[in-house]
Structure 1
Amino acid sequence: MTAIVGVLNKHAVAVAADSAATINGTLGRKVLNQANKIITISKYHPIAVMIYSSSSFLGTPWDVIVKLYRDNLKEKDFNSVSDYISDFIKFLSDNSFFCSEGFQRKVLRMHIFRLYQDIERKAIAIIGGEVTDSNKPYLFKTIKDELSSLKEKLDKSEPCEGLKSYTFEKFEKYSIDILDELYNYIVNHTGASPELYEHAKQTAFSFLKSSFNLLGYTGLVFVGYGKFDIFPSLKSINVSTAFDGFLKYSYDKQSEAVISENNMAAICPFAQTDVMETILTGIDPSVKHFVSDLFFKSLNAYSTLVSNTIKANNGDSILSTAIEKLDISGIRKVFDEAINNIIGKQYISPLVDTVAYLEKEDMAEMAESLISLTFLKRRMMSSEETVGGPVDVAIISKSDGFVWIKRKHYFQPDLNHHFFSNYYIK
């Protein structure tokens, strides 16, 4: 797991990341504390990328891919951070996503089967946890309903950026062997109808094409300056997988920050953000969600109590029924908006206003502190320490470029002068 953050104002952007990486091995989970999550994209220009969630893409470590891209880029630069992202995606495609087509198919099969089997397990739990000949028809109906509900939700979402032009016909043609296996599993193995298989196939396509992240996705946070940028910007993409020459990725537009005359500062946390959000908003996100749910449940309980009281006293049945059917979701929305407004006015705005005037040193200290506090909370809890290790900190500015403030090395710098001498040779 990971905690990374970017702190931006008109002077520069400070980035910080922990070093913990969680490995899921055959014997269980293990946390390593030497991962590198901040990597420069260019040796010559003020642009970098931060990595969170999965540390590899289709089996290839992201740090290897980014450094190969850096070597390929050389002294070339682009007008904006968005242009760097576009070129990086093209680089992935031009290099066949750094894995064989056979491996891409293997990963695609895993995602398709996992989707269906997760729904199958959920349906089995709904019918009581045991499958018998007598309840199989009900099981298949439940699976079909779950597939239909999920597909409806997926179709309402925006398609992911990389698969907007991808058609169902291309998917069927490319995945014919995988879909044959799925048919064999659903129809021949479980005894379901071909109609259920069709539902599963359509839902799998909608799932792949949607902007929802697949298990094992990676967040890539591009941060710095384009050639014509005076102020820094931060833009994030989520990359899930690749197949048939297409990359499944989407822009995380809610997390992007562009410094301008109208937006003087921003604080952008990623991955494990609960501690940082608590500091920024004055309330733990889980507590905020609990309060909202409690308010909604209390309103429901109150309306039920009023309705039952009217019935118990031989009151108007039409009135009591109307009270039971009251739609109170609008009240909850007003309540949540009021909470968000007070958080914005009393916590977020004053803090962001202060960040707008911080110098580089203070920004670096703030970014490091946000990561360190996240680590401290994880360390004091009885659960796994999924944030930890050395904190890497860097400043990116227009004039000075990328400057490390704190950085761990896998070697001793004073014994490896040739590394630094050769850094710009290639």
Structure 2
Amino acid sequence: MNKNAIAMAADSAVTIGQHIAIHNSANKLFAISRCEPVGVIVYSSASFMQIPIEIIIKQYKSFLGKKRCNSLKDYVADFMSYLKTNSKLFHFEKNEMNYIERVFVDLFKGMVGDRKNYIDNKLKEMSRNLTSEELQEINSKTLKATIDFIEQQDDLNNCSFAQYVEEKYFVTIKNHINSNFDWLNDEQSAELAKKVCTLFDKDFFRDGYVGLCFAGFGKEEIFPQMVHLHFGGIINGKLRYIEKEQVSIDEDTNASITPLAQTDVMQTFLFGINDGFIQKIAVEIPRQISKKLGSIDNDCFAEGKKGTVIRELNTSTKGILDEIIKKANEEFMRPIIQSVATLPIEELSLLAESMINITSVRRKVALDGNIGTVGGPIDVAIVSKHDGFIWMKRKHYFDIKYNPQYMYTHYTENPKMYEGINNEEAD
């Protein structure tokens, strides 16, 4: 985004299951209104409460009609209100249980992985089969780790779901635990089930959420705005969501670039490093410090001070990372942002498209488990205050020249005036 416009771009790849199939025809970029300058990019899950998100967005677009909102935030609030008030239309109530189950099953996948790691590490340490007491200790450790994980998640500040989930689904959750984790006793199962109910008041959207990035202009806004959210589901008629970020172009902020979904390649281009690599550095620096100092004879340190030295050196990790991020912003990101602030509209769209292209190239050649997950035709749109939502590139599953009625019925108030026009006249 810069002060003139917003460039939005999205690929067309959608992955089915665990790379069971990849299709390159998905729609991820939409105009929210037929007459107002607002668009949305969709990523992560293609369905919301088992309803294709494309259907929901297009239903809302029809509902919105010529309505104009004062700000982009008002459009977002109106969209969320539409979801809640049309639960019956989309059968959200019928799919509530499926959504609840998907969330806690996702949590339990992590718990199973933790227990396996604890057992594997203990087996290496003991070099023999584990006793029942040792397994029981591991079970308790796994339970505590899962409960601690839930408590450490940030709270949602928009809604409260825990009490409703506990009243309606506690028995279901506990039965699931009893059926799948026989290494927990009944008391532990009840403790875990109760804690799982509180998970729905936490920022836990690890699997199955719909990422939505709204961008555009309200009628009282002259500069571009962006609101980025994760939608989980509808519980008890209320939307479970988390707002990830807001970006406003204004007198102080001239430009912005916001990568979505698979951000590693774009972050590397923009910053010279990506979040995943920074996290690896954050783990590796303390590990190397502890390993190196651990190999030095204790006599080289004052009595009882070796551990203190290791801890103090490990605190330097944050300073190192802060300096890396500072340099990345100064030497990599800032020059690009300065350029984006002055780019003409057409160049803005080319940059957005290029960001997708470089990610697509890596996903084609790198054998890293993500092969093919970004690809296919790239849809590109420009959103500006007075020209509105303009497609620069757009795929269709049909040839528009054979379907002139599409334009007449979707974008003209009086389609009857076009009756009788044949394909040759349309061409």
TM superposition score category, shorter chain reference: 0.7 to 0.9
Query: What SS is found at the alignment partner of 1:351?
Result: helix
CA distance in 2, matches of 1:31, 1:321: 51
> Number of paired residues?
403
Structure 1 unmatched runs, 5+: 1-7
Q: Deviations over 1:100-142 (max 9, x none)?
A: 5232113313432442354145324413489985555334312
- Which shows bigger deviation, 409-418 or 106-115? 106-115
Residue 223 to residue 131, structure 1, CA distance change in 2 (3 Å): farther
1:175 paired to 2:169: yes
CA distance in 1, matches of 2:177, 2:264: 42
Which residue of the partner structure matches residue 250 of structure 2?
260
1:376 is displaced (CA, Å) by: 1.1
* Counterparts in 2 of 1:209 and 1:12: CA distance versus 1, 3 Å: same
1:317 is matched with 303
The residue number in structure 2 matching 1:362 is 347
Equivalent residue of 1:9, what SS? coil
Pair 1:191–1:213, CA change in 2 (3 A): closer
**Number of the residue aligned with 2:331:** 346
Kindly state the Cα deviation for residue 11 of structure 1 after the two structures are TM-superposed.
0.4
Q: Is contact 1:150-1:203 (8 Å) kept? A: no
Q: Secondary structure at the match of 1:340?
A: helix
What is the CA-CA distance between 1:208 and the residue it aligns to? Answer: 1.6
1:339-382 CA distance string (max 9 Å, x none) = 11111111111110111011101101111111111111111223
* Matched position secondary structure for 1:175: helix
* Amino acid paired to 2:26: A
1:409–1:131 Cα change, 3 Å: farther
CA distance in 2, matches of 1:262, 1:417: 45
> How far has the Cα of 1:294 moved from its partner?
3.9
Q: Corresponding residue for 2:419?
A: none
The answer as to 2:107 corresponding to 1:115 is yes
The DSSP-based 3-state class of the residue aligned with 1:299 is helix
Identity among equivalent pairs (%)? 29
Secondary structure at the counterpart of residue 391 of structure 2:
strand
Residues 382-414 of structure 1 show CA distances to partners (whole Å, capped at 9, x for unaligned) of 352111111111100001000000111111111
- The correspondence of residues 392-411 of structure 1 with structure 2, limited to 5 A, is 392-411=379-398
Give the distance between the partners of 2:20 and 2:32, measured in 1 at CA.
31
Match of 1:92 among 83, 94, 111: 83
Structure 1 residue 416: Cα displacement = 1.1
Contact 2:264–2:275 at 8 Å: present in 1 too?
yes
CA contact under 8 A between 2:203 and 2:242: conserved in structure 1?
A: yes
Write the distance in 2 (CA, Å) between the matches of 1:360 and 1:69.
28
Alpha-carbon distance in 2 for matches of 1:53, 1:106: 18
* Structure 1: distance between partners of 2:103 and 2:265: 32
2:7 paired residue number:
14
* 2:178–2:189 CA contact under 8 A, matched in 1: no
Cα pair 1:59 1:99 within 8 Å, conserved: no
Is 1:337 matched with 2:329?
A: no
CA change 1:198–1:323 in 2 (3 A) is same
Tell whether the 8 Å contact from 1:304 to 1:323 is kept in structure 2 after alignment.
Answer: no
Tell me how large the CA RMSD over aligned residues is. Answer: 2.5
Aligned with 2:40 (options 44, 49, 56): 49
Give the letter aligned to residue 79 of structure 1: N
8 Å CA contact 2:210–2:231 kept in 1: the answer is yes
SS at 1:300 equivalent: helix
Q: How does 1:177-192 map to 2 (within 5 A)?
A: 177-179=171-173, 181-182=175-176, 184-185=178-179, 190=182, 192=184
Q: Which amino acid aligns with 2:168?
A: Y
Could you say what secondary structure the match of 1:212 adopts?
coil
**2:226 matched residue in structure 1:** 234
1:345 alignment partner AA = E
Q: Shift of residue 287 of structure 1?
A: 4.3
The one of 24, 27, 30 aligned to 2:21: 30
> Contact (CA 8 Å) 1:19, 1:36: kept in 2 or not?
yes
Alpha-carbon spacing, 1:270–1:327, altered in 2? closer, same or farther (3 Å): same
Query: What SS is found at the alignment partner of 2:257?
Result: strand
- The TM-score with structure 1 as length reference comes to 0.87
Matched with 2:425 is none
Structure 2's unaligned 5+ residue stretches are: 124-128, 414-427
SS across alignment from 1:222: strand
Residue 275 (str. 1) matches residue 268 (str. 2)? no
How do residues 147-226 of structure 1 correspond to structure 2 at under 5 angstroms? 147-154=146-153, 157-159=154-156, 161=158, 163=159, 165-166=160-161, 168-179=162-173, 181-182=175-176, 184-185=178-179, 190=182, 192-226=184-218
TM-score of the superposed pair, with normalisation by structure 2: 0.87
Structure 2 equivalent of residue 373 of structure 1: 358
Q: CA deviation at 1:283?
A: 3.0
Superposed displacement of residue 29, structure 1 = 1.3
Give the secondary-structure state (helix, strand or coil) at the position aligned to 1:230: coil
